[in-house]
Chains A and B, each alone.
Chain A
């Protein structure tokens, strides 16, 4: 059986950011529902957070291709 361990590594690397994104977006939705007038601010901050968390997943994606 042949294949690349990198693929498994990327699969594992998605777990952390996946959990993180779920928690963050869930809480953002909750606070938007509680305080609709703050929705704009919450959404902006959420996107900044998403960008930071997603960077980890993207690093995993790139490293899976970059490291042989």
Chain B
């Protein structure tokens, strides 16, 4: 333990980054202008998001433009993604959920692609690690499941069903109504956003530390050298683990959106 601490004391070249963790996520504008008194511009996060969007759009256009009955490799892979979302919609929402398959697929692919920038060489920054992206996805999901609830059940019936769940003694509504309202209308989109954001921010910090450790410690021959070797060995493991987290978060976001839509479909 002491040798690790000594080694950590030695490598002090990343002062700025380690003093302020925000430096890992904040990037200066490459190009900016004033809009309603607010500085609006293009920074690295937006650029990465554009590139990932272009890549995904190109993949789907090329893969599905000449869709054939006997699919090629790319078409098989893309159809597997749509099939997965179809299964989610069928299992959770039922036959009525088939019209949500395009939306769920969009969510899953967009979140997966934006997360994937975390371990893509030359990018190494997930746009979803900034809270604005997950928050916006969660906002879309929130609008959709409340909209579905109002459309399927009517305004009064839907909010009445949330506030006064049936089958409980009347006296319990004193406690239950505020809890249900807060959890359905505020906590649901909030946790959707924060779950994705927290996973991506923590993952980005982990990846950065894994990559910085060999860089800092390998040159310090007598003391910290071994730590650099450990860092190199940990690299593939960390990247594999992050790939797993990326896919899992995309899946969970899609699945929970489907679950919320299902809970708006009929009163429970």
Contacts and interface: CB of A to CB of B under 8 A. Distances in A.
Interface of A: 40, 44, 47-48, 51-52, 54-55, 58, 61-62
Given A44-B259, A58-B198, A61-B198, A51 B92 contact: no
Interface in B179-235: 183, 187-188, 191, 194-195, 198
B238 interface: no
Contacts of A48: 259
A51 B191 contact: yes
B2 to A, nearest CB: 17
B256 interface: yes
A57 to B, nearest CB: 9
B187 A55 contact: yes
A48 B92 CA distance: 11
A14 B91 CA distance: 31
Contacts, number: 26
Nearest to A40: B91
Contact of B256 (A51, A61, A62): A51
B243 interface: no
Interface residues of B, number: 13
Contacts of A61: 194, 198
Interface of B: 91-92, 183, 187-188, 191, 194-195, 198, 252, 255-256, 259
B177 to A, nearest CB: 17
A54 B256 contact: no
Nearest to A41: B91
Contacts of B259: 44, 47-48, 51
B91 A47 contact: no
Given A40-B91, A58-B198, A61-B198, A47 B255 contact: yes
A44 B259 CA distance: 8
Nearest to A51: B256
Contacts of B255: 44, 47
Q: Among the interface residues A40, A47, A48, A51, which one has the most CB atoms of the partner chain B within 10 A?
A: A51
A44 B194 CA distance: 21
B92 A58 contact: no
A58 B191 contact: yes
A10 B23 CA distance: 22
Nearest to B187: A55
Contacts of B252: 47
